[in-house]
Amino acid sequence: MPLVIGVTGHRNLDPRDYPQYRARIAELIGYLNTRYPATPLRMVSALAEGADRLAAEVGLEHGCELLVCLPMEAAEYERDFPASVEEFRSLLNRTAAANIFVLEPEVPPDTTPADVRELCYREVGLFVSGRCHILLALWDGTHNESFAGTAEVVRLKLEGRVQVATRGLDFDYDGPVYWVPARRVDGGPLVDLPGKWLYPKEANAELLRTVCLRIDRFNAEAARVRGSPAVTASGESLIPGLSERPAADRALAATFACADVLARRYQKMTHAILRVVISLAVGLALTFEVYAEIMPVRELPELYLGIFTAIVFLYLWQKRQDTQGRYLDYRALAEGLRVQFYWRLAGLADNASASYLRKQLDELRWIREALRGTNVLPPPTQPRADLVLAHWVSGQAAYFRSRAKLQMSRIHHVELLSAISLCAGLTATASLVVFWHQLEGMGRWRHWVVLVMGFAPIAAALWETYGERFGLRSQAHQYARFATVFGRAEKVVTKLEAAPDSPHRVHHERALIRELGREALMENGDWVLLLRERPIVLPKG
């Protein structure tokens, strides 16, 4: 899961300044490599003259993966720099063929050729600013009215892009800019200034550091499970024949698989810790009741202290390891990647980060940023909406139906045990009232009845706590909701499959997949917040 550096800057830089610019770019790369050693760097550049090529050269020299997004076909693009075509071609040859692609903007009717060209350059600026985590700008700091220049790309990164058509007046894709002060040819005397970080109004250096540290932590853990049978099986569960898909699809599936396996691992740890904490709480309450009612011996307070110490130690250990936080974060990441994979497989260029966890806490922003980085890939090719409909829609519908049924069974089980505990307490209380005189003469048996009377309600409350901390009822409702959504989608798919092949059918299939993905992202975001509000805590009362 890479950190992505987008590149923008002037084309007509003064060549005499190149050594200092190289040093500043190398400083940024070195800083990121040192701070986040488990995280690869990916650089996105259009390979225009000047800043784009200079940054690409330095990036390749320092081990960055290079992604080249061209505003138009290479032959047409080369007409803008006839004197440096060989330099351009040399950089293309040093870039993996799968990482070179052409962006095609939507061109309104009656647009002049000159305006089309400018639209192409603006599309590249939008892609670079919108898909990178950090924008590297070799810029003189001068703002102008250019529609597609460096100043506009920097502004888009710092202020975001208004997404009126898709989500109302919402801002998206803002982030930090690493500004290397640069001058154009004959732009005044050389001034060797250090690079400077610029941040949007709603962000700062600490937020960037948190995002990058979380991505780096995931990468470090993913490196330990990558290649394991569990990861291989998880990736292949998305679609059959995954190995035959393009490299970008396989890379996205591999990232999903790592997140999925890590989420399941931390889920098991979290559930195990919660069960142990509740079991120890039962032992704590039972020890107190036995000591108070039956055996007032010194060993029982010692046992009580030992159990309480074990609970505190386990609580502090899981808090330090952040087992529950990692479980929820990695599950959210995996589900976002699942939607992103199927969108891409259907031929959709939508970015899951634009629809996911947008109203949630800043501490979850790293998930959106991680999704943004994993989707900095060449546009989808070889679309297979039929595979998406068969393996995502039908598969998820069956999965959520079975999960909803299983969860309701667990709720019934917990409620039954809670009811049995309450009945035992009421029975003990009634026995004590009705058979008071008889029990008075029965010595220790009376104390056992009193113990059951006092402990049974505690046991009932602990069963309720168990269900609440696991979010059993809320999860059952969510599974039922998902089962309903995917079930409706299945019916639509059945109708679509009965329709003849046509562009109209393809349009409806993609619209269904897009809407289903957004619905899944929204529901999963709500689920993450729901369980975050139920952390593991020390038992009280």
Look at residue 470 in the predicted model and tell me its pLDDT: 67
> Cα–Cα distance between 381 and 245 in angstroms, integer?
9
Residues forming CATH 3.40.50.450 domain(s) in the chain = 3-203
Q: Is 110 left (phi over 0), alpha (psi -120 to 50) or beta?
A: left
CATH architecture of 3-203: 3-Layer(aba) Sandwich (3.40)
Structure tokens at 268: 């098991």
Task: Identify which of 35-44, 285-294, 447-456 has the greatest average pLDDT.
Answer: 35-44
Give the Cα separation of 339 and 355 in Å (integer).
11
Q: Check pLDDT > 60 for residue 471.
A: yes
Highest mean pLDDT among 270-274, 339-343, 357-361 belongs to 339-343
pLDDT digits (tens, 9 = 90+) for 176-190: 999 999 988 876 666
Q: Is the dihedral of CA 370, 373, 379, 381 positive or negative?
A: negative
- Angstrom distances, CA of residue 251 to CA of 47, 219, 248, 355, 388: 24, 14, 5, 21, 18
% of residues, the chain, pLDDT over 90: 32
Tokens representing residue 127 in the block? 């892609």
pLDDT of residue 91: 95
Alpha-carbon span 55 to 61, nearest angstrom:
10
pLDDT of residue 361: 56
N residues, the chain: 541
Assess contact for 55 and 43: CB atoms under 8 A: yes
Task: Name, of 14-28, 104-118, 296-310, 453-467, the range with top average pLDDT.
Answer: 14-28
Ramachandran class of 160: left when φ > 0, alpha when ψ lies in -120 to 50, beta otherwise: left
DSSP, res 49: T
pLDDT at 166 over 60: no
322: left (phi over 0), alpha (psi -120 to 50) or beta: left
Within 13 Å and on the Cβ side, how many CA atoms surround 512?
25
Mean pLDDT for all residues in the chain: 84
In whole angstroms, give the CA distance from residue 43 to residue 303.
59
Tokens matching residue 419: 């009811």
* 468 vs 214: CA distance, rounded Å: 28
Most confident of 138-147, 298-307, 449-458: 298-307
Q: What is the pLDDT of residues 363-411, one digit of tens each?
A: 678 888 898 888 888 878 788 888 888 888 888 888 888 888 888 888 8
Residue 165's pLDDT is 39
285 close to 455: Cβ distance less than 8 angstroms: yes
